[in-house]
Amino acid sequence: MASTKANLVIDQGATFSNTITVKDSNGDVMDLTNYTGAAQMRRHYSSTNSTSFVVTVANSGTVTLSLSANATANISYGRYVYDCEITSNAAIVTRVQEGIVTVTPEVTR
């Protein structure tokens, strides 16, 4: 399975959610039973500061990344990089999505 490239836009101060459908090398939706997920965004790849997404893995083959409105309000506007990885119960880690995140500034506070 190869990771997909997807650029995300997060509105500062708004609730964010993005769902990824994970497919195997044949293009079939994967059963993600007993998988866990992790995803982070950083200003650049070598940044020590990061924001972690809440990651929900569904057996039906989807992984949802989310952030609360309070969490996005605390992210400075600008461009970031991110990726999302899933881990099987056999400790095999696979990157399922990566790309650029653009956080747009909030006016209403």
pLDDT in tens, 13-71: 999 999 999 999 899 999 999 999 999 999 999 999 999 999 999 999 999 999 999 99
Task: Map out the domains of the chain with their CATH numbers.
Answer: 4-104 (2.60.40.10)
Rounded alpha-carbon distances, angstroms, from residue 82 to 28, 40, 45, 58, 107: 25, 6, 8, 21, 24
Can you list the alpha helix ranges (DSSP code H) found in 35-86?
69-73
Which residue spans within the chain are E strands per DSSP? Answer: 4-5, 8-11, 16-21, 36-42, 51-52, 54-58, 62-67, 78-87, 93-104
Is residue 80 within 8 A of residue 43, CB to CB? The reply is yes
Query: What is the token pair recorded at 69?
Result: 């409105």
**What sign does the CA torsion over 51, 54, 57, 60 have?**
negative
3-class secondary-structure state, position 71: helix
pTM: 0.93
pLDDT in tens, 75-109: 999 999 999 999 999 999 999 999 999 999 999 87
pLDDT for 109 equals 77
